[in-house]
Amino acid sequence: MTRIIAIASGKGGVGKTTFATNLAIALSDFGKKVIVIDCNLTTPHLSYYLGAESYTITINDILKEKVDIRYAVSQHNGVMFIPASLNLKDLIDVEIRHLKSHLEKLNLPLVDFVLLDCAPGLGKEAMSVLEACDEVIFVTTPTVPTLMDVKRCREAIGTKNKKFSLVLNMVRSGKYEFETEHVYDLIKMPILGTIPFDRNVIDSVAFGTPILRMKPNSPASISFMRLASTLIGREFEYHPTLFHKLLSNFKNRIFGR
């Protein structure tokens, strides 16, 4: 059964799109069929974070009924994706509230995960995505303002029939950060995993290359793989040779070697 998951956040700047991109890659490297969709129409970044420079169809075209979503999926870095348009004029006449009906047209039996990179906060874009999904993963840093934003979002969404979980990103274990157990006490939401602050991620974003492709053995990359394995219910134990094997498998799929 396809799992449609919104990757959400209470505010911007917490690494939500970095998370969505690398989670999609990690799941793909575990052999799962994944489509990641940029649903942040006003400030789209997914294509850049994925390192995709060439594509012709966007989610804007789909929402304007110009293209059937089944024929809109591109592929890059081993992941299927649908970007959002970077052109401001493509925001005109876009109906994000119809997203759910478009997702239903996908050949979902052939897809394991659809990840929706959601706009931050509780605006129309974000709420439409949250309506369209079955599960929500909130990405946040372990600080008071960002955690309170997640708490507010969770309360606003209410008790709808969805599964909620939390990922703590850019964790430094600093003096002013919440400990994991205290986060749960505050948010009352299962914590799917944590991703440490890793300067390699800053470099990967600057180069427009996902950290799992740029440095697969970095601390953040290992955490992404561990988190993906938790999501699919598999045991994960880090071995450097495993990452070389996964990267080799990825190159074989892309280049046919």
Residue boundaries of the structural domains of the chain: 3-243
Phi then psi dihedrals of residue 120, to 5 deg: -70, 160
Find, among 153, 155, 181, 157, the residue nearest to 168 by Cα.
181
**N-to-C CA span, the chain:** 31
Which tokens belong to 213?
A: 């492709």
pLDDT value of residue 241: 60
What's the CA gap between 196 and 141, in Å, rounded? 10
What string of pLDDT tens digits covers the 257 residues of the chain? 899 999 999 999 999 999 999 999 999 999 999 999 999 999 999 999 999 988 889 999 999 999 999 999 999 878 999 999 999 999 998 989 999 999 998 877 889 999 999 999 999 999 999 999 999 999 999 999 999 999 999 988 876 678 999 999 999 988 888 888 889 888 989 999 999 999 999 999 999 999 999 999 999 999 999 999 999 998 877 766 655 555 555 555 554 54
Structure token pair of residue 181? 């157990």
What does the alpha-carbon distance between residue 106 and residue 99 come to, in Å, rounded to a whole number?
12
Question: In what helix (H) or strand (E) does residue 252 lie, and over which residues does it extend?
Answer: helix 240-255
CA angle 149–151–156, rounded 5-degree value = 95
Asked whether 55 and 47 are in contact (CB, 8 A), the reply is: yes
CATH superfamily of 3-243: P-loop containing nucleotide triphosphate hydrolases (3.40.50.300)
The pLDDT score that the predictor gives to residue 257 is 47
Tokens 């799917």 map to which residue?
Answer: 192
